[in-house]
Amino acid sequence: MKLSKKERQQLLNQTLKENPFITDEELAEKFSVSIQTIRLDRLELNIPELRERIKNVAQHNFSEKVRSLPIDEVIGEIVDMELDRHAISILDIKPEHVFSRNQIARGHHLFAQANSLAVAVINDELALTASSNLQFLRQVKLGERVIAKAKVVEQKDPKGRTIVVVESFVNQELVFKGKFSMYRSKSEKVDKQ
CATH number at residue 18: 1.10.10.10
Tell whether 156 and 173 lie within a shared domain.
Answer: yes
Quick one: 70 and 34 in the same domain? no
The CATH number that applies at residue 166 is 3.10.129.10
The predicted pLDDT at position 188 comes to 43
Residue 42 scores a pLDDT above 60: yes
**58 and 33 share one domain:** no
CA distance to 61, 67, 187, per residue, from 26 (Å): 24, 34, 44
Domain range for 23 is 5-47
Residues 69 and 41 occupy one common structural domain: no
> Are 65 and 13 part of one and the same domain?
no
- Residue 191: pLDDT band with limits 50, 70, 90: very low
Rounded to an integer, the average pLDDT of 1-15 is: 88
Among 13, 29, 47, identify where a domain stops.
47
Mean pLDDT over the full length of the chain: 86
My answer on whether 29 and 79 are in the same domain is: no
Instruction: Give tens-digit pLDDT for 54-110.
Output: 666 655 555 556 666 766 788 888 888 888 999 999 999 999 999 999 999 999 999
Burial status of residue 120 (CB atoms within 10 A of its CB: 0-12, 13-18, 19 or more) = buried
Global model pTM greater than 0.75:
no
